[in-house]
């Protein structure tokens, strides 16, 4: 990452979390959702541009600490994309799992199109056809 970008251990502030999701193109979430969930992750990192004090990227891992680890909220502001921030966050999350989890963790994510090449570079592969991701859709 560039000189003024700093990787910070922990989730971003709530307002930054909501903004990062919305401005990066992820589905926007309410304050209630953010407040309830933001501090519930097993590990989280965010990136601050010290030149502006702006939070510009983030990622979190939901996990049971044993073997289930699910990567979520990977987001970088559009103006800061393609500068290695997503890779730095993902590397930190995977290092946290490697150091804090028992051997053979099951690390998953739901890959939106913009993140696929990044995830593949880190060793993620598609699970289909053996397993496919499913989501509950309410009428």
Ligand X SMILES: CC(C)(COP(=O)(O)OP(=O)(O)OC[C@H]1O[C@@H](n2cnc3c(N)ncnc32)[C@H](O)[C@@H]1OP(=O)(O)O)[C@@H](O)C(=O)NCCC(=O)NCCS
Which stretches of the chain bind ligand X, using CB under 6 A?
24-26, 74-76, 81-87, 111-112, 114-115, 117-118, 121
Shortest distance, position 37 Cβ to ligand X, whole Å: 16
Which residue minimizes CB distance to ligand X? 86
Whole-angstrom distance, CA of residue 61 vs CA of residue 63:
6
Peptide bond into 139 cis (omega under 30): no
- CB of 66 vs ligand X, minimal distance in Å: 24
Q: 7: which DSSP letter?
A: E
Rounded CA gap, 68 and 46, in Å? 22
Distance CA 38, CA 40 (A): 6
Q: How far is the CB of 75 from ligand X (least distance, A)?
A: 4
Residue closer to ligand X by CB (options 40, 78) is: 78
Q: Which is nearer to ligand X, 7 or 87 (CB)?
A: 87
């Amino acid at each position: 990452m560039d000189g003024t970008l700093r990787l910070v251990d922990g989730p971003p502030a709530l307002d930054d979390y909501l903004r990062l999701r919305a401005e990066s193109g992820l589905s926007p979430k309410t304050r209630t959702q953010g407040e309830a969930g933001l501090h519930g992750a097993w590990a989280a990192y965010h990136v601050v541009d010290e030149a502006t004090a702006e939070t510009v990227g983030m990622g979190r891992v939901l996990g049971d600490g044993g073997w289930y680890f699910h990567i979520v909220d990977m987001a970088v502001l559009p103006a800061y994309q393609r500068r290695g921030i997503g890779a730095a966050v993902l590397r930190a999350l995977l290092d946290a799992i490697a150091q804090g989890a028992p051997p053979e963790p099951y690390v998953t994510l739901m890959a939106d199109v913009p993140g696929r090449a990044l995830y593949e570079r880190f060793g993620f592969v598609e699970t289909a056809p053996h397993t496919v991701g499913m989501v509950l859709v309410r009428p």
